[in-house]
Amino acid sequence: MFGKRKFNSFFGDFDSMFNELNSMFNDNQFYVTGKRKVENGTDNNGEWTKESFISDDGTYSVTTIVRSNTLQSKSTKTDDKVESLKIELEKLVESQEFEKAVELRDRIKNLEVNQDKINKLKSELEESIKKQDFETSIKLRDEIKKLEE
């Protein structure tokens, strides 16, 4: 029913059509110029990389986020908190909620300044829990909370 000649001519028409389409797009390549921004970080879920591109005229933007699922130690928990607060701070600034942004900025600075002390207290807290010295544990927990505020 379908002879070799008809079958070949049928696909021959597709080939010529696709070749013509390819030549139209290959001859007129489309380039978008703009700015590229790359950010890296870590959080509770592992390391991440965020790459953003926005065209010079602002009509075209692309953001990709790549995450690796590496487990984080407990000592980076404060770092993760600071990173998440910084992301929240960016959102507040973008939405022009400057009063909340100022409070959050101060909280981030406080965490960064006290980070070593917080980590030390957390180690002491773990030890006091192991020793079942719960009165000391409660005091250490409260002190950590004050420093993290």
Q: Is the pLDDT of residue 14 over 70?
A: no
For 71-126, how does the pLDDT look when each residue is reduced to its tens digit (9 = 90+)?
444 445 666 778 888 999 898 888 898 898 999 898 888 888 888 898 899 999 99
| pLDDT score, position 13 | 65
| pLDDT score, position 43 | 76
Q: How far apart are CA 131 and CA 129, in angstroms?
A: 5
Q: Strand 46-55 and strand 61-68: pairing?
A: antiparallel
Global confidence as pTM = 0.41
Q: How much of the chain, in percent, has pLDDT values that exceed 70?
A: 74
Summarize the confidence of residues 126-143 as an average pLDDT.
91
Q: How far apart are CA 63 and CA 37, in angstroms?
A: 9
User: Whose CA is closest to 89, among 69, 103, 70, 68?
Assistant: 103
| pLDDT score, position 142 | 93
| pLDDT score, position 138 | 92
Report residue 46: phi and psi, to 5°. Answer: 120, -165
Report residue 66: phi and psi, to 5°. Answer: -120, 130
